[in-house]
Amino acid sequence: MPVFYLEIIVVVLGLVMLMVDAFVKLEDKRHIAWIGVLGLICVFFLLFKVEWPTTTESTFWKFYDHEEGTRGFSLFYKGIAVLCTIIVLIMGAEFRGVIQKYIAPPEPGAHPQSGLGEFFALPVFACAGLMWMASASNLVSIFVALETVTITFYVLVAYMRRNVGSLEAGVKYLILGALSTGFLVYGFTWLFGITGSMDLAEIKTALASENVNVAAALFAFGLIIVGLGFKVGAAPFQLWIPDVYQGAPTPITAFLSVASKSAGFIVLLRIAGCFLSSAYLSEKIGAVLVVIAILTLLYGNLAALPQKNFKRLLAYSSIAHAGFLLMALASPPGKSGGLNSPAVVISFYLGAYLLMTLLAFLVMTAVRNTQEDESVDAYAGLARRSPFLAFALLIAMASLAGIPLTAGFFGKFFVFKLAFENGASWILIAAGIIGAAAGFYYYLKIVASMYWAEGDDEADSISVSIPSKVTMVLLMIGILVAGVVPNAILSLLG
Amino acid sequence: MTFLFYIFAALTLVGGIGVVVYKNPVSSAFAMILSFLGLAALFIQLDAYLVGILQILVYAGAIMVLFLFIIMLMDVKAEENKTFRGGAILGAILVMGGFAAALVKVLLDSRIGEGKLAPLAESEQSDVHAIGDLLFTQYWFPVQIVGVLLLVATVGVVVLSKKEMK
């Protein structure tokens, strides 16, 4: 099957879900989510069956990456987008009670769950956008795919519109997101102005030639890094993250923190790659990336220490992980590919990050369903109320902290190995070590509270639906397998 | 022609400053229209007639009318009584000053303006033709993605603005 069918199938799936919502009388709108989940599982398996083009004459291939060397990466990031959307839909089905409570009550005579169908259909369209982003090889297609994703997120973040937190998050995300897009597009115009091309391959050649306009290229990169830094949550453009993550509906927070971040990173990898491969620019661009990585590592990890709200804690944790990813990007690339190239290390880290973050959010969704409280105290004594959920969260937290035998350990290990072997600056490595050490404290604080703190043992036991339970078990297996045999993920990268 | 450029550039800038400085949102919106008109004139000077006309029709016309509608629904008086905080002004001046300084430095250092691009007026097609041709031949794929984007935006607007029943 030709590779570009994938996104078309996903868009059609989204349309089918909207049509079913509009025209089929369903008693329970959760079935729409199940249609999406089944469809996306099929798409996930189709990822292993794609065919690449033999002729690339059509103008289409100017916008869609098909280089031999990066095919594995494109598919890997498409896979991340699809998996993440599947799990977000499962979480959304679990979370429907809370969503229902905060969207407008149905008109008399309308379906009691009206307004829920779109909540399941919109992430599927975002998934198509994320998949296009993973393949975008042209500034135009990067921009339109990015905007498709961002605009969907503006809607989804503010979805619980009768909840003040969700509305506030939506407005903040909209205004700051629009501002960052402005910077990004302005950067793109400068890049077009100095290279005369929108195509990343041609931009790469133009930037590497000796008559490149260094001042203007640096200015363009500065503007682009403001825009993309916002999307991936890099300091100093991270201020929106805690509020937006806390206010957004929990499934959407998970979607933002995994899918949006990984798509941002593949775009950043592609664009920064063009700059870093130029002998005239690489040194200065590298210095900029080192500064951003240090700021992100320190801010994310240290600001997470005093957090009392679990969702906010995960927001800071997502900044902290962006810091480790940027640390890999800022390390000078080695000569032999494989684990010596930042792209491979970043992709592995993102794969591990997907498993552990989504597991944490799944547990959070289940706990949030039975109680309003989102603070860390709500997890006190969870081990006695629900041993299964506590164990799942234990694995997620251990992996996020980077304890051996989990996927998160190898993620951090590869980043540090890359930084050491290729001679990254020692301040960067020191910031990474401080960050990792701080991470131990705030992740394991949750574990300690679950297992040893006095909790409300009288509270209702927490019921978990079967699809979520299956997903949690699969994610746990994934974390442990990748924590013992990291090649399981690495081999996917081709 | 350079004389006209300075007039319209000044118009654009004055309008832009007006948007920020006016306290009354309606005055701000009108200052924005002024700024857009100046910008449209600059585009037309560059022979980009279609972009210039769209700037007036779409931005100064349709979008600004929408803006004014929304402003009228808000409480204009509350906005007028707002005072600027010293810290915010200082921060804005610092950020904008830094940005402007960087821009000026880059423009002075770089050799931008030693144009390589042919003037638009010399191309064979009219620019409406040329843009339409490009959009639907070379750039058909991004145009299709924009279709999905608009669909998502439409669904989102319907969901977020559904009437609330009491």
> What is the C-alpha radius of gyration for chain A, rounded to an integer number of angstroms?
22
Q: Looking up tokens 């794969």, which residue turns up? A: A351
For residue A381, tell me if it sits in a domain.
Answer: yes
pLDDT (0 to 100) of residue B122 = 66
Count CB-CB contacts under 10 A for residue B43.
Answer: 18
Q: Is B125 helix (H, G, I), strand (E, B) or coil?
A: coil
What region, left, alpha or beta, does residue A309 occupy, with left being phi > 0 and alpha being psi -120 to 50 degrees?
beta
Question: Is A104 close to B163, i.e. CB distance below 8 A?
Answer: yes
User: In this structure, are residues A137 and A65 in contact, taking their beta carbons and an 8 Å threshold?
Assistant: yes
CA–CA min distance A106, chain B (Å) = 7
User: In this structure, are residues A319 and A238 in contact, taking their beta carbons and an 8 Å threshold?
Assistant: yes
The C-alpha atoms of residue B22 and residue A138 are separated, in whole angstroms, by 40
Q: Is the pLDDT of residue A235 over 60?
A: yes
Q: Which of A161-165, A312-316, A373-377, B104-108 has the lowest mean pLDDT?
A: A373-377
Domain count, chain A: 1
**CATH for B1-93 (3.40.50.300, 3.40.50.2300, 1.20.120.1200, 3.40.50.720):** 1.20.120.1200
- Contact residues, B window 69-88, toward A, CB-based 8 Å cutoff: none
User: In this structure, are residues B110 and A217 in contact, taking their beta carbons and an 8 Å threshold?
Assistant: no
Question: Is A148 close to B156, i.e. CB distance below 8 A?
Answer: no
Question: Is B110 close to A62, i.e. CB distance below 8 A?
Answer: no
Dump the DSSP string for chain B: -HHHHHHHHHHHHHHHHHHHH-SSHHHHHHHHHHHHHHHHHHHHHTT-HHHHHHIIIIIIIIIHHHHHHHHHHS-HHHHHT----HHHHHHHHHHHHHHHHHHHHHHHHS-TTS--SPPGGGSSS-HHHHHHHHHHTTTHHHHHHHHHHHHHHHHHHHHHTPPPP-
Nearest CA in chain B to A143: B142
Taking contacts as CB-CB distances below 8 angstroms, the residues of chain A near B112 are: 193-194, 213, 216
Nearest-by-Cβ selection for B142 from A115, A118, A144: A144
The C-alpha atoms of residue B114 and residue A437 are separated, in whole angstroms, by 53
Q: Is the pLDDT of residue A46 over 90?
A: yes
Question: Is B160 close to A59, i.e. CB distance below 8 A?
Answer: no
Displacement of CA A191 from its chain's centroid (Å): 26
Taking contacts as CB-CB distances below 8 angstroms, the residues of chain A near B138 are: 59, 62
Count CB-CB contacts under 10 A for residue A343.
Answer: 20
CA–CA min distance B101, chain A (Å) = 12
- Percent of chain A at pLDDT > 90 equals 63
The mean per-residue pLDDT over the stretch A390-399 comes to: 94
Q: Is the pLDDT of residue A11 over 60?
A: yes
User: In this structure, are residues A282 and A208 in contact, taking their beta carbons and an 8 Å threshold?
Assistant: no
Q: DSSP class of residue A336?
A: S
- Contact residues, B window 43-72, toward A, CB-based 8 Å cutoff: none
Dump the DSSP string for A204-255: HHHHHSTT--HHHHHHHHHHHHHHHHHHHT-TTS-THHHHHHHHS-HHHHHH
Spatial CA neighbour of B117 closest among B45, B46, B18, B21: B46
CA–CA min distance A21, chain B (Å) = 12
For residue A410, the one-letter residue type is F
For residue A426, the one-letter residue type is W
Count CB-CB contacts under 10 A for residue A462.
Answer: 17
> What digits encode the pLDDT tens for the residues A108-144?
777 777 788 899 999 999 999 999 999 999 999 999 9
Q: Break chain A down into helix, strand, coil percent, rounded to 5.
A: 75, 0, 20
- Which band of pLDDT confidence, cut at 50, 70 and 90, is reported for residue A458? low
The mean per-residue pLDDT over the stretch B111-130 comes to: 70
CB contacts < 8 A (A, B): 97
The C-alpha atoms of residue A131 and residue A48 are separated, in whole angstroms, by 15
Residue B95 touches chain A, beta carbons under 8 Å: no
Q: Which of A15-24, A445-454, B75-84, B138-147 has the lowest mean pLDDT?
A: B75-84
Task: Using alpha carbons, list the distances in angstroms from residue A23 to A19, A121, B163.
Answer: 6, 14, 21
Which residues, 6 or more positions from A281, have their beta carbon under 8 angstroms from its beta carbon?
Answer: A207, A212, A214, A217, A218, A221, A275
Q: Is the pLDDT of residue B38 over 50?
A: yes
The mean per-residue pLDDT over the stretch A292-311 comes to: 93
Choose the mutation target among B152, B155, B157, B164 for the interface with A, i.e. most A CBs under 10 Å: B152
The C-alpha atoms of residue A257 and residue A316 are separated, in whole angstroms, by 10
Nearest CA in chain B to A18: B155
Q: Which of A371-380, A464-473, B119-128 has the lowest mean pLDDT?
A: B119-128
Q: DSSP class of residue B124?
A: S
Residues A149, A365, A381: CA angle, nearest 5 degrees: 145
- Which band of pLDDT confidence, cut at 50, 70 and 90, is reported for residue A372? confident
Of A21-35, B45-59, B140-154, give the range with the top mean pLDDT: B140-154
Question: Is B159 close to A155, i.e. CB distance below 8 A?
Answer: yes
The C-alpha atoms of residue A215 and residue A192 are separated, in whole angstroms, by 14
> What digits encode the pLDDT tens for the residues A459-487?
667 888 898 999 999 999 999 999 999 88
Question: Is A216 close to B164, i.e. CB distance below 8 A?
Answer: no
The C-alpha atoms of residue A275 and residue A67 are separated, in whole angstroms, by 18
Q: Looking up tokens 């100095």, which residue turns up? A: A194
Count CB-CB contacts under 10 A for residue A12.
Answer: 14
The C-alpha atoms of residue B59 and residue A459 are separated, in whole angstroms, by 57
> What digits encode the pLDDT tens for the residues B68-95?
888 888 777 777 777 777 888 898 889 8
User: In this structure, are residues A356 and A480 in contact, taking their beta carbons and an 8 Å threshold?
Assistant: no
For residue A245, the one-letter residue type is Y
For residue A52, tell me if it sits in a domain.
Answer: no
Taking contacts as CB-CB distances below 8 angstroms, the residues of chain A near B159 are: 103, 115, 118-119, 155, 159
> What is the C-alpha radius of gyration for chain B, rounded to an integer number of angstroms?
21
Nearest-by-Cβ selection for B149 from A63, A148, A194: A148
The C-alpha atoms of residue A131 and residue A154 are separated, in whole angstroms, by 18
CA–CA min distance B118, chain A (Å) = 12
pLDDT greater at residue B85 or residue A297: A297
pLDDT (0 to 100) of residue A25 = 85
Taking contacts as CB-CB distances below 8 angstroms, the residues of chain B near A216 are: 106, 109-110, 112
Taking contacts as CB-CB distances below 8 angstroms, the residues of chain A near B155 are: 18, 118, 121-122, 155
Q: Is the pLDDT of residue B166 over 50?
A: no
Taking contacts as CB-CB distances below 8 angstroms, the residues of chain B near A63 are: 141-142
pLDDT (0 to 100) of residue B17 = 92
Q: How far apart are the first and last CA of chain B?
A: 61
pLDDT greater at residue A107 or residue A48: A48
For residue A380, tell me if it sits in a domain.
Answer: yes
For residue A236, say if its preceding peptide bond is cis, omega within 30 degrees of 0. yes
The mean per-residue pLDDT over the stretch A51-57 comes to: 84
Q: Looking up tokens 């089905």, which residue turns up? A: A93
The C-alpha atoms of residue A399 and residue A409 are separated, in whole angstroms, by 6
Token duo for residue A109: 């005579």
> What digits encode the pLDDT tens for the residues A154-208?
999 999 888 888 999 999 999 999 999 999 999 999 999 888 889 999 999 999 9
The mean per-residue pLDDT over the stretch A338-354 comes to: 89
For residue A252, tell me if it sits in a domain.
Answer: no
Q: Looking up tokens 């810290």, which residue turns up? A: B87
Instruction: Kindly tell me the sign of the dihedral angle through the C-alpha atoms of A356, A362, A367, A368.
Output: positive
Nearest-by-Cβ selection for A125 from B148, B158, B165: B148
Question: Is A151 close to B141, i.e. CB distance below 8 A?
Answer: no
Residue B110 touches chain A, beta carbons under 8 Å: yes
pLDDT (0 to 100) of residue B109 = 82
Burial class (CB in 10 A: 0-12, 13-18, 19+), A223: buried
For residue A131, tell me if it sits in a domain.
Answer: no
Alpha helices in A95-163 (DSSP H): 96-102, 117-135, 139-157
Nearest-by-Cβ selection for A219 from B106, B111, B139: B106
The mean per-residue pLDDT over the stretch B118-145 comes to: 83
Look up the domain containing A340 and give its range. 289-494
What's the mean per-residue pLDDT of chain B?
85
For residue A303, tell me if it sits in a domain.
Answer: yes
pLDDT (0 to 100) of residue A487 = 87
Which residues, 6 or more positions from A175, have their beta carbon under 8 angstroms from its beta carbon?
Answer: none
Residue B124 touches chain A, beta carbons under 8 Å: no
